[in-house]
Amino acid sequence: MEKKNRVLKRISNFPVHTPTPASPGFTLIEILVVLLIIAIITSVAVLAFGQFGRGRREKIIAQQFARVITVAQQQAILTPSIVGLGITENGYQFYQFESNQWENIQNDVLSNTHAFQSVFIVKINSIAGYHASTDSAIKTHGKPTILFLPSGFVTPFSLNLKGESHQYNMIVKNNGITVLHRVRDEKK
């Protein structure tokens, strides 16, 4: 009996869970209001960062083009071969002068024929110090207008890349030095 009392005493010491009345919780209206606020904040953030993304993309493409010009000059010096650059309204293509004709570079990682497509309007200002119309410089039928010689000489040229967010002016000197700067809007 004593054993039974001890067991009952132990059992009675265990906490007893008694159900409590259900908490009221959130109503459907309150949940919908919170979701509406989150949707408004998200849409404002997406709209604000959308333009930021476009401008950043334009900057990256312009900088990449400037770096590719430097790499093409180095390739002409190291391989020793004549490398040519053709610029179109959609992008740029590199060529190599072999067997008295221009051919696409084998295993070409420099060219990007769609780099400017839907991003920039390309305007070639000058080639070798002469005013160049963009149409005549672009329509060269597979012949480059800009040369990179094994001596390190580069046909000097300048062009504008005009995007929706930014406009860039690129000047390439005859020693291959490439200057890229963003044109500031005068409206602001």
List per-residue pLDDT tens for the chain, 188 residues long.
Answer: 677 777 666 666 666 666 666 667 888 888 999 999 999 988 887 776 665 678 888 999 999 999 999 999 999 999 899 999 999 899 999 999 998 999 988 888 899 999 999 999 999 999 987 877 655 555 555 679 899 999 999 999 999 999 998 999 999 999 999 999 999 865 54
The model carries a pTM of 0.68
- Compute the 3-state secondary structure of the chain and give helix, strand, coil in percent, each to the nearest 5: 35, 25, 40
Separation of alpha carbons 154 and 173, rounded Å: 7
How confident is the model at residue 25, as a pLDDT? 80
Q: 47: which 2 tokens?
A: 């709209």
Cross-strand pairs, 168: 161, 182
Are the C-beta atoms of residues 106 and 165 closer than 8 Å to each other?
A: no
How far is CA 68 from each of CA 46, 55, 72, 94, 183, rounded to the nearest angstrom? 32, 20, 6, 10, 21
Count Cβ atoms within 10 A of the Cβ of residue 137 and give its class: 0-12 exposed, 13-18 middle, 19 or more buried.
Answer: buried
Fold of 59-183: minor pseudopilin epsh fold (3.55.40)
Q: How many CB atoms lie within 10 A of CB 89?
A: 14
